[in-house]
Each structure stands twice: as structure tokens, then as C-alpha cells.
């Protein structure tokens, strides 16, 4: 019984020693031609980048989709990955945020 307790204690210490703080990942969908997205971007930047990201508790990724403007340069730069992520979440409008 003592051996089992010692082994359990060692395993718990090993797991806690290699633990790391977890961060939230927020994925945001937008488009350069989206007027509502532009109004949301300022508030989003203030709340996340200046607040939570600098505190180390949040990371975010921005994906650009091909509507309402199909010539969004950020969408065209990486169209296949952007559309794959859009399909994964079933995004059908922008702005859209997934946590």
C-alpha cells in the first residue's frame, strides 16, 4: 500500500511540474469590405490585444472570408486555409467569433 501511495505521489508531482498555464484561443472571421466588421474591429482590438493578450490569457487568429468582397487581399493570400476553417465552423456571416 505504501508503494502505491509513493508511486501516486511521484506521478502527481511529475504532472504538476510539467503543467503549463492554459490560454483561450479565439478565432475571428472578417472581410476587408465588411462595414459591420470595421466597426467591431476597434472594440475587439481594445478588448483583446490591449487587454487580455498583453495579460497572456488569450490568443486570437483572424480569418478572412470571400464575402461580401471577393477581392480581400488577406483572403486571396491564403484562400484554401481560410475557407477550410470557415467550413469547419459553418460560418455564414461576418463578423463571426469562435472561442
Reading the chain (99 residues) residue by residue, the pLDDT tens digits are 788 787 777 777 666 666 677 788 889 999 999 999 988 888 887 777 776 766 677 888 999 999 999 999 999 999 999 999 999 999 999 999 998
CATH number of the domain bearing residue 31: 3.40.30
Domain tally, the chain: 1
Residue 6 forms part of a structural domain: no
Domain containing 29 equals 21-98
Alpha helices in 1-96 (DSSP H): 2-17, 35-47, 73-77, 79-89
In a domain, 1, yes or no: no
In a domain, 16, yes or no: no
Q: Is residue 25 part of a domain?
A: yes
What is the rounded CA–CA span in Å between residue 77 and residue 82? Answer: 9
Structural domain contains residue 48: yes
Residue 60 counted as domain residue? yes
Rounded distance between C-alpha atoms, residue 72 and residue 15, angstroms: 46
How far, in Å, are 1, 60, 81, 83 from residue 39 at the CA level? Answer: 63, 18, 25, 23
Amino acid at each position: 500500500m505504501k508503494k502505491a501511495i509513493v508511486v501516486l505521489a511521484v506521478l502527481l508531482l511529475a504532472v504538476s511540474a510539467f503543467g503549463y498555464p492554459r490560454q483561450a484561443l479565439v478565432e475571428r472571421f472578417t472581410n476587408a469590405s465588411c462595414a459591420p466588421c470595421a466597426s467591431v474591429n476597434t472594440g475587439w482590438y481594445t478588448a483583446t490585444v490591449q487587454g487580455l493578450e498583453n495579460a497572456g490569457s488569450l490568443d486570437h487568429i483572424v480569418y478572412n472570408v470571400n464575402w461580401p468582397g471577393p477581392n480581400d487581399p488577406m483572403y486571396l493570400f491564403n484562400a484554401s486555409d481560410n475557407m477550410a476553417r470557415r467550413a469547419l465552423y459553418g460560418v455564414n456571416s461576418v463578423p463571426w467569433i469562435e472561442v
